[in-house]
Amino acid sequence: MPELPEVQTTVDGINRRAKGQTITDVWTDLAIPRPIKQFVSTLKDLAFYKRFKSLVSGAKIIKASRRGKNILIHLNNNHTILIHMKMTGHMMYGVYDYDKKQNSWTVHKNEKNEALRDPFNRFIHFVISLKNGKYLVLSDTRKFAKVTLLKTSEIFDSHHLKNHGPEPLEENFSLKEFAERLRKHKNKPIKMVLLDHSVIAGIGNIYGDELLWEAGIRPLRLVKDVSEKEFSLMFKVMKKVLLKGIDFGGDSMSDYRDIDGKRGSFQNAHNAYRLTGKPCKKKGCKGKIERVVVGARSAHFCNIHQR
């Protein structure tokens, strides 16, 4: 699932490619008349989608930003499109063709960017048409992504975002606040608390494993057994690992692709995530990466230097 670095990479891409563009239309094949409760007021709700379409058509994209794992596309009509890519979603920009018979979209034959033709980029379920003849599209194999529209002034108080903890890369987020927030969950495993977006926003399984490897802390260690010194180290390496993820253009071990349909490369820099059985890469460490289950999700750690 895209985490903070992947979502930031996409947001930066939207700002690079589509900022200042006017939306002429939107399309989806996910809207149905009577969606289940959790899809009401999203793109999957036909009545909502009709309102969405009329509200965003004609609006200009001011800029995109990020909150946790959510993409926020701010429009000049006091509304904001919120997109959570979930498991397999990613946004791309290019020239596309609509096939009326099939009710589907494919890359236009004149599109020069070959990366958009990557098989992982074929599952187009949401399209924003732009005045310059290009398109912002959402490819999503498993169709779990969430797309909705909110008044910009209400977005941070909406149920989508109001429970989010602080942004780990924000400058005014201090070590003191980091430690205090985690310590409220003293009897839980550290990995589980790091992944709780109401404690800190944006960290998922990949970056959680990687930062604990760097900090030398086992994923199952209880928060109450983490020392002052270790909190300080964890705070430092958390920022380091997330910034490295952004530098590498995100992680494409799974479906994630950037705005141009290209893979990121953080998957080549893993030290722990999905390296079960491999020797530890830490200098001088003779350990091996093991896998353990934490809160129904797998965690990967070195059996020697992580304690």
User: Which positions lie near Zn ion, rule CB under 5 A?
Assistant: 280, 282, 285, 287, 302, 305
Residue 197 or 305: the one with the smaller Cβ distance to Zn ion is 305
Name the minimum Å distance from CB 282 to Zn ion: 4
Residue 166 or 287: the one with the smaller Cβ distance to Zn ion is 287
Nearest to 35, CA basis, from 26, 23, 44, 43 = 44
Is residue 110 within 8 Å of residue 72, measured between CB atoms?
no
Residue 220 or 285: the one with the smaller Cβ distance to Zn ion is 285
Residue 224 or 286: the one with the smaller Cβ distance to Zn ion is 286
Name the minimum Å distance from CB 190 to Zn ion: 17
Contacts of 278-282 spanning 24+ positions with Cβ under 8 A = 280/304, 280/305, 282/213
Residue 181 or 278: the one with the smaller Cβ distance to Zn ion is 278
Name the minimum Å distance from CB 84 to Zn ion: 34
Name the minimum Å distance from CB 86 to Zn ion: 32
Residue 68 or 216: the one with the smaller Cβ distance to Zn ion is 216
What's the 3-state SS for the chain?
CCCHHHHHHHHHHHHHHCCCCEEEEEEECCCECCCCHHHCCCCCEHHHHHHHHHHHCCCEEEEEEEECCEEEEEECCCEEEEEECCCCEEEEEECEEEECCCCEEEECCCCCCHHHHCHHHCCEEEEEEECCCCEEEEEECCCCCEEEEEEHHHHHHCCCCCCCCCCCCCCCCCHHHHHHHHHCCCCCEHHHHHCCCCCCCCCCHHHHHHHHHHHCCCCCCEHHHCCHHHHHHHHHHHHHHHHHHHHCCCCCCCCCCCCCCCCCCHHHHCCCCCCCCCECCCCCCCCEEEEEEECCEEEEEECCCCC
Name the minimum Å distance from CB 291 to Zn ion: 14
Structure tokens at 279: 């020797």
Name the minimum Å distance from CB 133 to Zn ion: 52
Name the minimum Å distance from CB 3 to Zn ion: 23
Residue 58 or 287: the one with the smaller Cβ distance to Zn ion is 287
Residue 108 or 282: the one with the smaller Cβ distance to Zn ion is 282
Residue 48 or 213: the one with the smaller Cβ distance to Zn ion is 213
Name the minimum Å distance from CB 292 to Zn ion: 15
Residue 262 pairs with which residues in a beta bridge?
none
Name the minimum Å distance from CB 278 to Zn ion: 11
The owner of tokens 């149905």 is 32
